[in-house]
């Protein structure tokens, strides 16, 4: 997410940080460029103007112009203002003192409400919040079936009531079922429309008055840019939403919705959807997101992902074996690959590292399919071949190529790169060793 915005902002700020001294004119010229970049990213005109006024007020003055590192100080000012623009701080779900916490998910049809309900249920279950789902979309065909399928996948209870035309009654019955199931959090998946209309808002207003939800989360499609902002304004005026979930952010190159919604509604972005899988829902940290936009990385999120998904004992064994005399074999490498895949798409993982910009990732041609190809090749080997790749003669390589559906050249390339990696690991295990540049991760 934010690839295009991140790349352009990075280039604009790099031109300023490269100067030894910053003049008033240089700062103003740089801010004009930032203004153009933000508007192209679909950030609202008023918010862009206010953002630049605050940056200019802090940047154009003796403190920055005469600073030892004026460029870096300007980047810090832009970073701080981006954090404020994105919502200032993490806004977690406001759980009720006396359970259950009732969360209404609202939004237009096609924004991803039902899928988000499943993702949020999975996250809340991991947080020991005992979620329960209520299928309150009585208009969209198969909406209840979709929610039931998601409920089974995350092992969470789902209440549905076929033939019920009164949404308020349905949700009240759902809350009774949730109480019997001893749920601590109830997620109500409401109906959407193709556009905001009076009938839709009247139904949601009645529902809000009847069940007194603790959270009203707007689920908005992040790829719609300023349309998402206008939709957020409409729902906020009618319902006083308490937060926003931005979906499809893995496909959004501009990011204008994320940069505008908080400023327009003051409703914080609580989560962002970063993929189709049920674990592809991230809490929205404004300070971390600002760091990603300015290519400063997001090591904290990466560490949290690793802690949640990687088997610590297995990782420790692999690290120990990697620098041992014997070194890793292909069986170990396969295990390491599977651990790595748990962190999500490789492009997303690399994007959290400081100094990695979108252009570098494009140039590197990061392709998760290549990892699948490598996995297919390794799985086509016998256990003895994985343990000792030196036995891989011509006929064995031909058999593995046919078994994996890959070319003999790819098999040869993998074995060659793996051999290089083994050598590099052994060098790394020696005290005071310097790693040579050159060997690539097998399959890349």
User: 54: domain CATH number?
Assistant: 1.20.120.140
Instruction: Map tokens 């971390």 to a residue.
Output: 288
What is the share, in percent, of the chain residues with pLDDT greater than 70?
76
The domain containing residue 401 runs over which residues? 302-428
Q: How far is CA 131 from CA 39, 105, 121, in A?
A: 40, 14, 6
Residue 441 lies in a domain: no
Residues 206, 275 share a domain: yes
Residues 237, 131 share a domain: yes
Task: Look at residue 217 and tell me whether its pLDDT is greater than 80.
Answer: yes
CB 193 within 8 A of CB 174: no
Q: Identify the top-confidence range among 150-154, 250-254, 436-440.
A: 150-154
| Mean local confidence (pLDDT), 213-219 | 96
CB 86 within 8 A of CB 291: no
Residue 437 lies in a domain: no
Please give the pLDDT value at position 380.
Answer: 93
Alpha helices in 68-197 (DSSP H): 70-86, 113-126, 143-154, 167-180
CATH assignment at residue 317: 1.10.260.30
Compare 21 and 190 and report the one with higher pLDDT.
190
Backbone phi, then psi, for 140, in 5-degree steps?
A: -75, 125
> What's the CA gap between 174 and 205, in Å, rounded?
18
Residue 78 lies in a domain: yes
Q: What is the pLDDT of residues 357-390, one digit of tens each?
A: 555 555 555 566 777 888 889 899 998 898 888 8
Range of weakest confidence among 100-109, 150-159, 348-357: 348-357
Residues 247, 123 share a domain: yes
Residues 344, 222 share a domain: no
Please give the pLDDT value at position 356.
Answer: 53
Residues 251, 108 share a domain: yes
202 pLDDT band (50/70/90 cuts)? very high
Backbone phi, then psi, for 379, in 5-degree steps?
A: -70, -20
Residues 255, 235 share a domain: yes
Domain count, the chain: 3
Q: What is the pLDDT of residues 254-270, one digit of tens each?
A: 677 888 889 889 999 99
Residues 58, 22 share a domain: yes
Please give the pLDDT value at position 206.
Answer: 95
Q: Identify the top-confidence range among 4-18, 133-147, 277-291.
A: 133-147
Residues 107, 38 share a domain: no
Please give the pLDDT value at position 65.
Answer: 55
Residues 398, 253 share a domain: no
Residues 317, 272 share a domain: no
Residues 198, 125 share a domain: yes
Residue 321 lies in a domain: yes
Please give the pLDDT value at position 289.
Answer: 85
Domain boundary among 245, 275, 297: 297
Domain boundary among 297, 318, 345: 297
Q: What is the pLDDT of residues 268-326, one digit of tens each?
A: 999 999 888 898 899 999 988 888 787 665 455 555 555 565 566 666 676 676 666 66
Please give the pLDDT value at position 319.
Answer: 65
CATH assignment at residue 272: 3.40.50.300
Q: What is the pLDDT of residues 321-352, one digit of tens each?
A: 666 666 678 877 777 777 766 666 666 665 55
Domain boundary among 36, 58, 86: 86
Instruction: Map tokens 């297919």 to a residue.
Output: 376
Residues 293, 306 share a domain: no
Please give the pLDDT value at position 224.
Answer: 79
Residue 439 lies in a domain: no
Range of weakest confidence among 102-106, 175-179, 212-216, 348-352: 348-352
Compare 225 and 304 and report the one with higher pLDDT.
225
């Amino acid at each position: 997410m934010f690839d295009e915005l991140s790349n352009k902002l990075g280039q604009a700020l790099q031109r300023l940080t490269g100067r030894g001294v910053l003049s008033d004119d240089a700062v103003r010229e740089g801010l004009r460029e930032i203004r153009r970049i933000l508007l192209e990213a679909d950030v609202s005109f008023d918010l862009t103007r206010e953002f630049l006024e605050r940056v200019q007020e802090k940047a154009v003055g003796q403190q920055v112009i005469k600073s030892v590192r004026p460029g870096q100080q300007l980047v810090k000012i832009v970073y701080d203002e981006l954090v404020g623009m994105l919502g200032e701080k993490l806004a977690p779900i406001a759980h009720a003192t006396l359970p259950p916490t009732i969360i209404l998910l609202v939004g237009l049809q096609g924004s991803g409400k039902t899928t988000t309900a499943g993702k949020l249920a999975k996250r809340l279950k991991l947080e020991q919040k005992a979620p329960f789902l209520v299928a309150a979309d009585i208009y969209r065909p198969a909406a209840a079936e979709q929610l039931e399928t998601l409920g089974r996948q995350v092992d969470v209870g789902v209440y549905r009531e076929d033939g019920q035309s009164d949404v308020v009654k349905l949700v009240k019955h759902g809350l009774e079922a949730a109480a019997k199931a001893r749920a601590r959090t109830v997620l109500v998946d409401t109906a959407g429309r193709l556009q905001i209309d009076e009938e839709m808002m009247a139904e949601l207003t009645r529902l809000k008055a009847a069940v007194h939800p603790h959270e009203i989360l707007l689920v908005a499609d992040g790829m719609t840019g300023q349309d998402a902002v206008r939709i957020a304004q409409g729902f906020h005026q009618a319902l006083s939403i308490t937060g926003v979930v931005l979906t499809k952010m893995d496909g959004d190159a501009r990011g204008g919705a994320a940069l505008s919604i908080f400023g327009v509604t003051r409703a914080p972005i609580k989560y962002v959807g970063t993929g189709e899988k049920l674990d592809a829902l991230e809490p929205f940290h404004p300070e971390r997101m600002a760091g990603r936009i300015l290519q400063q990385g997001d090591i904290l999120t990466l560490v949290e992902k690793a802690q949640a998904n990687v088997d610590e004992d297995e990782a420790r064994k692999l690290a120990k074996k990697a620098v041992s005399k014997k070194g890793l074999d292909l069986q170990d490498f396969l295990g390491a690959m599977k651990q790595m895949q748990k962190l999500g798409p490789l492009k997303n993982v690399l994007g959290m590292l400081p100094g990695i910009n979108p252009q570098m990732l494009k140039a590197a041609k990061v392709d998760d399919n290549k990892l699948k190809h490598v996995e297919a090749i390794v799985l086509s080997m016998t256990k003895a071949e994985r343990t000792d790749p030196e036995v891989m003669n011509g006929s064995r390589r031909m058999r593995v190529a046919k078994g994996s559906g890959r070319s003999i050249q790819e098999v040869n390339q993998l074995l060659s790169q793996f051999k290089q990696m083994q050598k590099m690991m052994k060098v790394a295990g020696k005290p005071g060793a310097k790693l040579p540049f050159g060997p690539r991760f097998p399959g890349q």
